Amino acid sequence: MAWRPLLRDLNSLLSYPLPLGRLANGRADVRLRGIVAAHFEAMWRLLRRLGVPEHDLDDAVQEVIWVLARKLEAVAIESERAFVLSTAYRVASTMRRSRRRRPEMVELSGEHLAAPGPDPEGLLEQQRARAWLDEALAALPLELRAVFVLYELERLTMAEIAEALGLAAGTVASRLRRARAAFQLSVTAIEHRLGVASR
Amino acid sequence: MTEPKRLLDSADRGFAERLLASSVADRPSGAARRRALGVAAAVASASAVGTASAVTTGALVKGALVWALVGGASGALVSVSVAKVAAHFETRSPRAAMIINAQPSRATPTHQLVVHTDSGPTRAGGRAPLPVVEDESAESGQVPATEAEARSVAEPQPIHSARAAQHDAPSAPARSGTTRATLGMSAHSSAQAASGSQLPALPSSTPAPVPALHDVEDELAWLDQARRRLAAGDAGGALTRISAYQSVFPRGHFQPEALALRAEALAARGERALAQLAAARFLATAPSHPLAARMRALVDASADPQRDRSN
C-alpha cells in the first residue's frame, strides 16, 4: 500500500508549479523569437499570397508577432506553425476589410519590377509569374484562398489546416476542391488572355 | 482525410504549376527578416509577453480620444525628421518628399518646464516605482520597458544584423532585385528603388561603406510606421515599433524624435507618468529641439490629470 502516498506525491509534484513554469515564462521572449525566426518566411509568404500589399507587409508581420506575443502561453509547441499561419490569415483578412487609403504609400509599390539583376530575364519571368499567380489567387474568395495557399504552397496537411483555421475536416476538403477548381479557371483565363501555351 | 496530391508535386508542369512554383522562390529579404526579429525582440522585452492583451483595446479607445491632440505633434515629428534628412543629404529622397507633405504641426504654446528631479536620464535603466496613475497601473507595470530596458534585451543581435543587412544589400543585387523590392517596409524599399538612380552605384563585390541614406531611409520608415500607428489610434502598436526602432538603431539619427513619439504614445495610452518620464528625458537630452515645446506641454499635461482629461 506504499504506492498510494507515493502516487499522491508524484501527483503533487506534477501539479506543482515548478521552476518549469517560471522557466517557460522567463524564456517567453526566447521562444517568441524562435517562433518568429522559424516561421517568418511562411507567414510572410502567406500574407503576400493572401493579397496583403507590399507596403503593408511589415505592418502585417508585426501584427502577427504582436498577437503571437499576447497569446504565446496558450500556444502549444506543436501548433506554433499553425498558430502563426492562422494569425497571419486573420490579420490578412482584417487588413483587407479595413484597408484604408494611404495616398503617400500606394504609388510606390511595384517599382521593383524594373530592378536589374544578373539574370534580368529570369528574374522578370519569376516576377511575372508571381504577378499572374497573385492575379489568379485574387479571384478566389479569401477563405478559399487561405486553404489553397496553405495546402498547395505551404504544404500544411489538411488536418493542420483544419486546426489552424478552426474548420471541420470536411470543410477543408470541400474548400480545397472548390479552390482548386476556381484557381484552374482563373489560371486558364489568364493563360487565355496571354495566349500562352500551357505546355 | 485523404490528401490529394499537391499540384506542385504533380509531374504535370502546366501553366498553373509554373505559377505556383514561382511562389516557392518568393522569399522575404534578409532585412525584412531581421526587422521581424527585431520586432519580436522588442515585443518580447517591452510588452511583457503573454500579458498585454488588455493593452491594445484600452489603447485604441484612449488613442482615439487624443488623436486630434497627437496628430499635430506627429506631424511635427515627421517634419523635423525630414528636415534632418535634408540636412544630411541636401537632397531629395522621394520618400522624404512625400512625407514632407505631412501636415505640419501648429505651434504649441510653451509651457513651464516641470521636471521631477528623479526623472532624468541617469535613472533610465532603473524600473522606478513611478507614481502611476489610475487604472493603468497594472499595465504600466509591464510596459514600462523604458528604452534602456528594451534595449538591454534586444540590442545584442539586431544592431549588427541591421548594419549587416545594409552591407548585404548592395553586394547582392541579384537578390535585392526581387527581395529588396518585396520588403514589407514600403518606405524603405520603395524609396531605395526610386532613388536608386541617384545613389552612387556600389561595386557588387566590395563591402564598401554603406551609403548612410539606407540607414536614414530605414530609420525614417520605422518611425513613420510608428507615427501612422499612433495616428490610427493604436498606441500599443506605435510603442512596439518605437521600441524596435530604439533597439535596432541605438545611435539612430532620430533617437530624440523616437523618444518624443514614445512620450506621445504613452500619453495616448493614458500612461501619464511614463509619458512624463519620456518627455523629461527628451528635454534633458534635446532641450532646444523643435519638439521641446511640445514635450514641455506634455510634461505639464501629465502633471495635471484634470487638464489632460479635458483635452
The C-alpha atoms of residue B2 and residue A164 are separated, in whole angstroms, by 18
d(CA B151, CA B159): 10
| Residue B155 placed within a domain | yes
**Which range, A67-76, A120-129, B98-107, has the best average confidence (pLDDT)?**
A67-76
Best mutation site among B7, B18, B19 for testing chain A: the one with the most A CBs within 10 Å?
A: B19
Shortest distance between the Cα of A1 and any Cα of chain B, in A, equals 43
Tell me if B87 is assigned to some domain: yes
Question: E strand or H helix at A76, and its extent?
Answer: none
User: For chain A, what's the residue count?
Assistant: 199
Report pLDDT for A109.
36
Is the pLDDT reported for residue A198 higher than 90? no
Min Cα–Cα distance to chain A from B238, Å? 11
User: Hey, are the CB atoms on A133 and B19 less than 8 Å from each other?
Assistant: yes
Which residue's entry shows cell 552612387?
B200
Name the residue facing A105 among B43, B56, B186 (closest C-beta): B186
> Cell triple for residue B139?
499595465
**B24 part of a folded domain:** no
Query: Please, what is the angle between helix B53-89 and helix A57-71, to 10°?
Result: 150
pLDDT tens, position by position, for chain B (311 residues)?
Answer: 578 888 888 877 788 888 888 887 788 888 888 888 888 877 766 544 434 333 343 343 333 333 333 344 444 444 444 445 444 443 333 443 333 333 333 333 333 333 333 333 333 333 333 333 333 333 333 333 334 433 333 333 333 333 333 443 333 333 333 333 333 333 333 333 344 334 444 444 444 444 345 566 677 777 888 888 888 888 888 888 888 787 777 777 788 888 899 898 888 888 888 888 888 888 888 888 878 888 888 887 755 554 444 44
Give me the residue label for grid cell 522588442.
B42
In 3-state terms chain A splits into helix, strand, coil percentages (rounded to 5) of 80, 0, 20
Instruction: Select from B16, B32, B4 the least CA-distant residue to B183.
Output: B32
- Give me the mean pLDDT over the A87-108 stretch: 64
- B-chain CB neighbours of A114 within 8 Å are 193
What is the CATH number assigned to the segment(s) A22-99? Answer: 1.10.1740
pLDDT at A95: 80
Residue of B nearest to A155 (CA): B6
Shortest distance between the Cα of A14 and any Cα of chain B, in A, equals 23
Q: Which residue has the cell 504609388?
A: A107
The residue range of the domain holding B212 is 29-195+206-310
C-alpha B78/C-alpha B92 separation (Å) is 15
Question: Do the domain assignments include residue B6?
Answer: no
Q: Where are the domains of chain A?
A: 22-99, 119-199
pLDDT on residue B200: 42
CB-CB neighbours of A168 under 10 Å = 9
* Measured distance CA(B41)–CA(B269) in Å, rounded: 22
Does residue B11 form part of some domain? no
Provide the 3-class DSSP secondary structure of residue B227. Answer: helix
Residue B52 and residue B166: Cα distance in Å, rounded?
33
* Residues of chain A neighbouring B193 (CB-CB closer than 8 A): 108, 111-112, 114-115
Per-residue confidence band for A148, with pLDDT thresholds at 50, 70 and 90: very high
CA distance B299 to A32: 35
Classify residue B118: in a domain, yes or no: yes
DSSP state of A75: S
C-alpha cell at B43: 515585443
Query: Distance (Å) from the C-alpha of residue B73 to the closest C-alpha of chain A?
Result: 19
Across the interface, do B225 and A59 touch by the CB < 8 Å criterion? yes
How confident is the model at residue A93, as a pLDDT?
85
* Domain-embedded: residue B211: yes
Domain assignment present for residue B162? The answer is yes
Side-chain-side CA neighbours of B1 within 13 Å: the count stands at 16
Fold of A119-199: Arc Repressor Mutant, subunit A (1.10.10)
Length of chain B in terms of residues written: 311
Nearest Cα of chain A lies from the Cα of B262 at a distance, in angstroms, of 18
Of B43, B180, B191, the CB nearest to A66: B43
Q: How far apart are alpha carbons B58 and B294 in whole angstroms? A: 24
Number of domains, chain B = 1
* Chain B residue with Cα closest to A35: B40
Task: Please tell me the pTM assigned to this model.
Answer: 0.46
Record: contact A109-B186, CB cut-off 8 A: yes
CB contact under 8 A, A36 and B36: yes
C-alpha cell at position A25? 515564462
